[in-house]
Amino acid sequence: MDHQAHILVVDDEKAFRHLLKTLLTTEGYRVSTADSGNTAIELLQQHTFNLVISDLMMGDVSGIDIMTHAKQLAPETEFIVITAFGSLETAVEALRQGAHDYIAKPFNNHQLLHSVKRVLAFQQTRQEKEQLFNTLQQRNQKLTDMLNASNRLAHLSPLPDLVLNEIIEIARRHLNLTVAVTVLDDEATKLRTACPDNLADLWWAQNLEQHYFSETDLKRVFTGAKRISQSFLIDLTSPKLPYPFNPGNSQSDQANDPDTITSLLAIPLDTRGTRMVGVLWVTNHPRRLSAEFVQQLEIFANQTAGTLDSARQFARQLNQLRVRNTLVNAGQRIATVLDHSEVAHTVLDAALKVIPWAEMAILWYRQHIDGNMSAVGLTSSGDTTHANPIDPELISQVLTSKQTVYRPRWHSGKSLIIEPLTLSSVSIGALAIISDRPNAFNEDLHQILAMLSNQAAIAMQNASLYAEAQRVDEIEALYEAGKAIDRTLNLQETLTTTMAVSRSLTGAAISNVYLYTPQSGRIDSVVTLSDELALTDADRRQAAAIARTVLETNQPSLVVERDSKIRAVAPNNLPPKIIQSWLAVPLPSNDIPMGVLQLGNDRPDAFNANDVRLIQIIGSHAATAIEKSRLYEEVQHRLQQTEALNAISQSISTTLELERVLELVVQSAAKTISVATHSALYLFDNTDELPEPEAQIATQTPDLPPELLDARRQAVQQATTQKETVRVTCDTAQAGPWSLLVAPLRVKQSIIGAISVSSPRPNAFHTNDETLLNTFASHASIAIQNANLFRDLTTAYTDLSQKQEEILRNHSTLQALFNGITDGLYITDRQLKIIAINQAEARRLGATPADFVGRTGDEHLWGPSASSVVRLVQNTFKTGQENTWESQTDVEQRGIFTDRDIHTYPIFTPAGNVTQVIIFAQDVSEQRRLQASLFRSANMAAVGQLASSVAHQINNPLTVIIGNSQIMEMETNPDSPEYVMVRDIVEAGTHIRKIVQNLLDFSTQDSYEWDETDVAETIADALMLVTHSLRKSHIRVEKEIALLPTIIASASHLKLLWMNLLLNARDAIATTEQEDGVVKITATQLDDNHVQIKIIDNGEGIPEQHQGLLFHPFFTTKSSGKNLGLGLFTCGAIVEFHQGTITLGNRTGGEPGAVVTITLPINPETGR
C-alpha cells in the first residue's frame, strides 16, 4: 500500500509545496497539493486521501480545522502537522485533536519520510487487522456470540432479570429463535421466568412471569410430554396439562386463538446432569423437530446452564465475602463503643445486613450487672422499636438453657431464630432474627449469627464494666469537684470552677450561671462558659426563659428541643437555635434559690436522669461556696471602701488643679460605691440657672436615658435647696427604673455645688452609700475651694510664661520635624560652616549632630564628592535658586552621596538676601532599582516580539533551503565536487536553525521556566550568539568544562547570564587595544550541592573605586550611548533568583584582567 498511497500536501508557501511534492513523488507516492485551507477541504470532499500533510498556521483555515473536516469525511485518513513556529502546547493540542505526528520547521528530509512511512504503515496495519477481524468474526459468529454471552453472564452477580433477557436476545439474534427462560432461585425452591416482549401477552407466559413455581410443578408438566433427546415437546392444546399451562376458563378465548402458540420445546438447564437450574422454552421451533436440531439447542442450553451456575457460585462467594466484611466492620465498631444503646444498634444493624430475608432483629441485654433485661428492635426499614413480638417464656428458655432456639415455621409463614449471648457460661442477653420466609435459616446463617452474638456479648460486658467504672469515677469526680469549688473565696473563680466541673461531668457544650437577688426580685448577673459555640438570640432567650422557670418552681428542668414547651422562636431574619438540649438546676439557699446552674448541648438527648442527679449535687456545693464568696466579697468591699476613701482624701487634698480634683471626685464616687454606674459633679456660679455638669463618668452604660437627666437636674436643685442628701427612683420608658443619689457640696454655710451617682437598678442605694457620698462631698468641697485659690494665684504666672512656652513649643516642633526626616539634611552659612545636621545624617556619618555643628563642609567630611557639593551650594548662594545634582548618570566616585540626589534650597532674610542654604541628600537607590526592573521588562517584551517575528520569517524560507539542499545531497554523487558545497549548505542551514532557536530562548528569558538544565549546553548556546562579536574583537575563547550534573534552573536565563558576562569581558579587553585577547571559561562541581563557573579575561581589570558599584542599576563606566548600566545588574538578579552567588574581582599574581565567579545550587528551592 505504501507506494500506492494518495497524499495531500497543504501549505500557503509555494516553494514548500514543491519541495514536499518532489520529495514524496521521488519515493513513489501519489501527491496532490493545495495552497489554502479552503482548497484542501474541497479536495477532501472530492477525493479520498490516505494521508494529509498540512501547515498549522495559514491565512484562511488552520491545519486543525482541515484535520477536523478530514476526520468527519473519512475517519481513517491520517494527519501530520508541520509548522514554522510552534511550541509544546500547540503540539499537544494537535495530537489531542487527532494528528498522528507533529514536525517543526525546518526539518530533516529523512525525518519527514520516516514519519510518512510510519504513518502509512500504521494505517495499513490497522486496515489489515480490521479485515482479518471481520473475516474471523464472520466465520465464528455463533461460537463468538455464545462465548461472549457466557463471559457476560459469568461476571454478573447476583443474577438479575437482565441476564435472562440477554439469553433471550442471544437466541433471537444468533439462532433466530424466540425463547423464554425460567431459572431456579439460589435455594432451588422457587422459579422465576423472563419472556421476550412478543410473548408478554400470552396467558402461559404471564403465569410463568407473575408467579413462583417449584421444580416439582415443572416436572409434572414434563410428565406425558414427548421427549426428544433430553428435551420435552409440550402440546399447549392438551386439556390435561397442569397449571400454569392449563389456561382456565378466563383465558380460553386466547387459548383457542388460531394465531397463538400451540406447542413449546422445553430444554432443562442442568449442570452435568446433577441439578436442574432452569428451563429454556422455545416457541418458534420447526414443526418437525429433528434430533440434530434439538441437540444443537441443548449445546446452547448446556453452555447457558454452566454460565448461570458459575455466576451463581461466584455471587454466593461474593455474598460470603460481603458477610465476612460486614462482620469484621461491625466487630471493629462494636469494640470501640462503650454505650449499651450504641452497641445494641450496631449489632442489630449488622444482623439485618448479613442475614438475608431478615424482617426484624431484636436484642435483649442488661444495662447493669444486677439490673433487669431491656429489649430493643430494629426493622429492615431502619425503624427502632421497643415492642416485643416474641413470647417472653421463649426468651427465658434461651437464657436458661443457653441454647439456640429455631422455629422454621413460627407463625404467619415466618421463621424465627434466637441466639443466646453468653460469656463465661453466663447468659447476659439474647439476639433474635425474624424472617418473612419459612425455613429461612441454614447452618451457614446460624454460624454467622453465633459469631455476631459472641461479639455482642463481649461488647455488652465491656459496656457494663465501663458503666460501673463510670459510677466510681463520678463519686471521685464529685469529691474532687467539691474540693475545687471550696478551694477559693473569689466569686468569679467559684463560678468558673462550678461551670467547668459541670461541663466535664456531662460533656455539655455550654454552661451558664444565673445569680438571683431576692431583694431586687430579678436576675442580677449571668456568667457563661463555652467552647467556640456561637449562640443565637433565640438560644439566649430560651436559656433565660428556662432559668426563670427553674427559679419560680425551685425544681430542676431537663428540656429537649423537639418536645420543649418553652420555645424561643427566632424571627425569620435571625438564625435558628443551635442548642438542642438544656439541663438546669436551682442553686439552693434556704427556701429561695440564689441562682440557676444551666448546661446546654447542640445534640438532642444529650442529658439523662443521671446527669440531673450529678448536677444537683454540684449545685448544692456551688450554692454554699457562692454564699461564702459573697460574704467574703462584702467584707473585702467594705475594707476597700475605707482604704479608697483615705487614699482619695489624700489625693484630693494634695491636688490643687480644679479639673483634676473634679475628675478624682467623680471617679472615686463611681468606683467606691459599687452599685453606681454613673457619677456627675455640678459647680454653681452666681446665676440662678443650674449649670451643666463640670465632670462626669460612666463605668458601664455610656448614655443615660433622657428622663433620668431631667430627674437628676431636679434632684440637684432639691439637694441644694434643702441642703441635704436626696434619694430618687426614676422610671424610664426604655431602660426601666433607675436610682439616683445626690449630695450637696458645702463650704461653711454656702452650697458651691452637688455630686450625684446613679444606678440602673431600683432602690440600689442604701444608708451606707449615702454616708459614703456625704464624706466624698465634704472632702471634695475643701479640695475645690483650695483649687480655686490656687487657680487665682497661678493665673498671673501663667500669663507671663505663655509666650515663652509658645517659643519653646515652636522650636521643639521644628527640631522634631528636622530630626524626623530619614534622608540627609544640612544647614550651612556662606562660609560652608554647618549650622545644623539631622540625626539620620549624623548617624550615617558615625557621630552625633553636636559633633558636626561648626565644622566646614570639605573633603574631610564629604570625601571625593565635596567639590561638587560645594559648587552646588555656592551657586545657590549666588543665584538664590534651587539646584540639583542627580546621581543616576554619574560614573565618578560620590563617597557618602552614592545613590543619593543632592538638592540645595536657599533661606532668605526679610530683606531677600540668602543667608543660609539647606542641603537635602535624598536616597534614590530603591527608585533606581525599580526603574531598572521596569526598563528591563519593557525591553525584553519588545525583544520577545521581535524574536518571534524574525523566527517565523526565517523558518519558512529556511525550511525550503534545508529541504532542497537535502534533496540535492541525496541526488549528488559523493565523489562530485558539488557534493561538498551541497553538504555545506545543509550544515549552514542547520546552524542557522539552532541560532534561531537560541534567539527564541533568549526572547522568553523574562519568564522563569524551571527544569533540569545542562550548564555546559547553555554556555555553548551563549557562545554561539556572541562568537562573531568575539572574533571581530580578536578574542579567542578557552573552555575547561568538567562533566557536570544537570541542575534545576531556567536555561534561557543562564544563557543571558553567560552572554552578558562574555560581552563585558569583550569590552574590558577592547579598552586595552591588544590583538591577543583571551576569555577563559571553567566549570566544575564544587561539592555535592553546587557547581561553580568562572569567566576570566585579560582585559584592564576593575578599578578599586568601582568594585562596590558594579551591580548597581544604571552604573556604567562606558559612555551613555554605548550602555545603560543594566548588564551586571541583570546578572546579579538572575543569580540571586537561582539562589546562587556571584563575585567579581581582579586576577591575582600580577596578571591583568578580571575574574567572575558564579556558584549555583544543583537543586534550589523553586517554590517562588
1126 or 597, greater pLDDT: 597
CATH superfamily of 2-139: Response regulator (3.40.50.2300)
Q: What gap in Å lies between CA 1038 and CA 1040, rounded to an integer?
A: 7
pLDDT digits (tens, 9 = 90+) for 164-192: 777 777 777 777 778 888 776 655 455 66
For the record, the C-alpha cell of 81 comes out as 502537522
**Mean pLDDT (whole number) for 672-682:** 81
Instruction: Give CATH for domain 141-317.
Output: 3.30.450.40
Asked if pLDDT for residue 362 goes beyond 50, the answer is: yes
Spatial contact of 86 and 64, defined as CB atoms under 8 Å apart: no
What average pLDDT is seen over the chain?
A: 76
Residue written as cell 483649687? Answer: 787
The third-level CATH classification (topology) of the domain covering 337-470 is: Beta-Lactamase (3.30.450)
> What mean pLDDT do residues 952-969 have?
70
Residues 766-794 have pLDDT tens digits of 777 787 788 778 877 777 777 777 777 67
Among 134-138, 139-143, 452-456, 1034-1038, where is mean pLDDT lowest? 139-143
Q: Stretch 884-909: mean pLDDT, rounded?
A: 72
Whole-angstrom distance, CA of residue 459 vs CA of residue 748 = 88
Q: Quick one: pLDDT band at residue 1045, thresholds 50, 70, 90?
A: very high
User: Coil, strand, or helix at residue 802?
Assistant: helix
Integer angstrom CA distances of residue 215 from 439, 442, 742: 17, 20, 107
Q: Tell whether the model's pLDDT for residue 228 goes beyond 90.
A: no
666 touches 755 (CB < 8 A): yes
pLDDT of residue 1136: 85
d(CA 247, CA 232): 20
1156-1167 average pLDDT score: 80
Domain boundaries of the chain, sorted by first residue? 2-139, 141-317, 337-470, 491-624, 655-787, 818-928, 1005-1161
Residue of 1118, 985, 997, 1002 lying closest to 1051 (CA atoms): 1002
Task: Name the more confident of 787 and 254.
Answer: 787
pLDDT in tens, 1063-1075: 888 888 887 777 7
What share of the chain has pLDDT > 70, as a percent? 73
Instruction: Considering only residues 122 and 1112, tell me which one the structure prediction assigns the higher pLDDT.
Output: 122
State how far the Cα of 833 lies from the Cα of 916, in Å rounded to an integer. Answer: 10
3-class state of residue 428 by DSSP? strand
1121 — pLDDT class (breaks 50, 70, 90) = very low
pLDDT at 246 > cutoff 70: no
The residue with greater pLDDT, 342 or 53, is 53
Instruction: Find the mean pLDDT for residues 697-726.
Output: 82
pLDDT at 32: 92
pLDDT digits 0-9 by tens, 417-447: 998 988 777 888 898 999 888 877 877 778 8
pLDDT digits (tens, 9 = 90+) for 998-1007: 555 555 555 6
Q: Quick: pLDDT tens for 378-397.
A: 888 888 888 788 888 888 88
CATH, domain range 655-787 = 3.30.450.40
Q: Residue 933: its pLDDT value, please?
A: 55
Query: Does 655-787 match 491-624 at the fold level?
Result: yes
Please check the confidence at residue 315 and state whether its pLDDT lies above 80: no
**Is the pLDDT at 1133 greater than 90, yes or no?**
no
Looking up cell 404467619, which residue turns up?
Answer: 412
pLDDT value of position 656? 67
446-472 pLDDT tens trace: 888 888 888 788 887 777 777 666 666
CA distances from 1165 to 410, 562, 1008, 1014, 1133 (A): 75, 58, 13, 18, 16
727 φ, ψ to 5°?
-115, 130
The sign of the dihedral angle between the CA atoms of 294, 296, 302, 304 is negative
Query: What's the grid cell of residue 49?
Result: 486521501
pLDDT of 254 over the 80 cut: no
What is the reported pLDDT for 996? 65
Q: How confident is the model at residue 707 (pLDDT cuts 50, 70, 90)?
A: confident
Q: Which residues contact 771 (CB under 8 A, 6 or more apart)?
A: none
Among the four given CATH numbers 3.65.10.10, 3.40.50.620, 3.30.450.40, 3.40.50.300, the one describing domain 491-624: 3.30.450.40
Q: Over the stretch 801-817, which tens digit does the pLDDT of each residue have?
A: 666 666 556 666 667 77
Q: Which CATH class is domain 1005-1161?
A: alpha beta
Confidence of residue 1026 (pLDDT cuts 50, 70, 90): confident
Superfamily covering domain 818-928: PAS domain (3.30.450.20)
* Residue 548 or 1001, more confident: 548
Average pLDDT (46-59) is: 86
Grade residue 1082 by pLDDT with cuts at 50, 70 and 90.
very high
| pLDDT value for 602 | 84
Q: How many CB atoms neighbour CB 124 within 10 A?
A: 14
The pLDDT score that the predictor gives to residue 1166 is 47
Q: Name the grid cell of 107.
A: 526539518
**Under 8 Å CB-to-CB from 36, ≥6 apart: which residues?**
10, 12, 58, 59, 60, 61
* Whether residue 1081 has pLDDT greater than 90: yes
User: Predicted confidence band at 1083 (pLDDT cuts at 50, 70, 90)?
Assistant: very high
Where do runs of H (alpha helix) occur along 336-359? Answer: 340-354
% of the chain beyond a pLDDT of 90? 3
For residue 1146, what are the β-bridge partners? 1154
Q: Is the pLDDT of residue 38 over 90?
A: no
> SS3 of 235, please?
strand
Q: Tell me: the pLDDT tens digits for 597-633?
A: 888 888 887 888 778 888 888 888 888 888 777 777 7
> Which residues 6+ apart lie within 8 Å of 70 measured at CB?
44, 49, 52, 77, 79
Neighbours of 579 (CB within 10 A): 25
* Distances, alpha carbon 1081 to alpha carbons 2, 840, 1032, in Å: 52, 46, 19
More confidently predicted of 761 and 251: 761
